[in-house]
Amino acid sequence: MKHQFPLIEVSGSSYELGYQHGIQTAPLIHSYLKWIEKLTGKTRDVLCENAVQFLPLIENLSSQFCDEIKGLASGADISLEEAVLCQVRAEASRIGDGGCTAFALRGQVTTGGNPIVGQNQDLEPEFSDVAILLRVKPSDGRPRALMFTFAGQLGYSGMNEHGLCHFANALYGFNWTLGLPHYPIKRIMLEKRTVEDCMDLLNANRTCSAANVVICDSEGEIASVEIRPESISQFSDDDKDWRIHTNHYLSKEFAEYEDNYLSDSCDRFERIRSLVRNQWGHITVDTMKQILADHAGDPAGICRHGETGMHSISGYIAEPGERVLHVRKGHGCTGTWNSYEV
């Protein structure tokens, strides 16, 4: 397991999905809860009290997701409040984190025109200690999905059996509100079939905080959507066949909120655009692995080693047409890639 994240496979009803997840990863879940306390500087009691405020909103979004939380609590032998906290760590603490560089490429950009989508996951290095791959196989007709996530956290980035995938970037410059947390929405997105379905979901729900999500489906439709508590906005680049995003606002609608919170975001954005442009029409999965390992543009390199406190602890590249997710453990320059069928 040294060179790959643990693969956790669960199947059955919503409750059973959560219960099996909890049973298999209980020690890691307890470590994750301790890390949330350390990361936020807040006590478990305070975090749990804040977390349960979001439970009615999550219930309204998906009763199945709530059943999975209940199963998780039972399987991991933690309280319901602690299980909810695993889904809302940022919202419960009102402390945003994360960097990330995400992309969706297709058509004229890639060899053969097939879509290639993914990101570098930039976080504090301690997150790697509790990271897992989670393969869910619901028994009620919802699609199976494969996600990179953290033990106890039921929703994050990944791809489902329809080839629908999404990856994300943190955004800043907002006021926290009592809205929907991002991670439950990301899990529900993996129950959808198309980019249009995901847009309907995002338009119908207001969030607690801000983020960007890059989405692609098996038909090669792509979108980069900036999400704020008050609304959402799509960013369309200068060519229809690529979407790239880091950690600052790109849409005209949200430009006024940019506060340059992550000072290297603009440089990383321009750097990855330059690297993709240099191989326009010849981009493959292997090309993107090399780009995600880039240091030549330091301090704007795509592979991060502590700039603004962030490390590229993992990376993912999805091939929606093939239903294959490539996952890297570790930095882009030294980590090991493994491939998984959804």
Question: Tens of pLDDT along 63-83?
Answer: 999 999 999 999 999 999 999
Helix (H, G, I), strand (E, B) or coil at 333: coil
In this predicted structure, what is the pLDDT of residue 67?
98
Cα–Cα dist 98/94, whole Å: 13
Cα–Cα dist 285/110, whole Å: 9
67 within domain boundaries:
yes
In this predicted structure, what is the pLDDT of residue 237?
83
Cα–Cα dist 160/172, whole Å: 28
Q: Average pLDDT for residues 281-287, to the nearest whole number?
A: 98
Whichever domain contains 149, its CATH number is: 3.60.60.10
295 within domain boundaries:
yes
317 within domain boundaries:
yes
Structural domain containing residue 49: 7-341
Report the percent of the chain where pLDDT is more than 90.
88
Read off the pLDDT of residues 167-201 as tens digits, 9 standing for 90 and up. Answer: 999 999 899 988 999 999 999 999 999 999 999 99
Say whether pLDDT at 207 is over 70: yes
Say whether pLDDT at 298 is over 80: no
Number of domains comprising the chain: 1
118 within domain boundaries:
yes
1 within domain boundaries:
no
Say whether pLDDT at 260 is over 90: no
Q: Which uninterrupted H or E stretch holds 225?
A: strand 222-227
pTM of the predicted model as reported, rounded to 2 decimal places: 0.96
Q: Average pLDDT for residues 15-38, to the nearest whole number?
A: 98
**Nearest CA among 249, 244, 251, 325 for reference residue 291:** 244
**Nearest CA among 153, 163, 169 for reference residue 121:** 169
